[in-house]
Amino acid sequence: MLNSRLVPELEIPAEVTVGRLIAAGDSPPPKDTKGKQFCFAFHCKGACNTDCGRQFSHRALSKADIDLLGPWVTAAKAKLG
């Protein structure tokens, strides 16, 4: 499943895995405004599979969700260099 609405501030380089991004975070990744985990493959890499356990997250993010996830992703990316 492709994300046709990838938010630029959430995008991570192709060579960075989701696992590396999460490991670089100073804290566990934030949850969305409904208390559920984001699918980082969909929101940060731009694609995921249809068997994803977080497929409920395969949607356009609200501004509130971007405001939760954006700073965390930005800080984790900065630690990766």
Any domain includes 39: yes
Q: Average pLDDT of the chain? A: 96
Task: Report pLDDT for 30.
Answer: 97
Any domain includes 1: no
CA distance 58 to 21: 19
Name the pTM for this structure: 0.93
Residue 81 has pLDDT above 90, yes or no: no
Domain with 34, as residue range(s), is 8-80
The amino acid present at 8, given as its one-letter code, is P
* Mean pLDDT within 8-17: 96
What is the number of domains present in the chain?
1
Distances (CA, A) of 9 to 1, 5, 50, 52, 78: 20, 12, 24, 23, 12
CA distance 71 to 77: 10
Q: In this predicted model, what pLDDT tens digit does every residue of 22-50 receive, in sequence order? A: 999 999 999 999 999 999 999 999 999 99
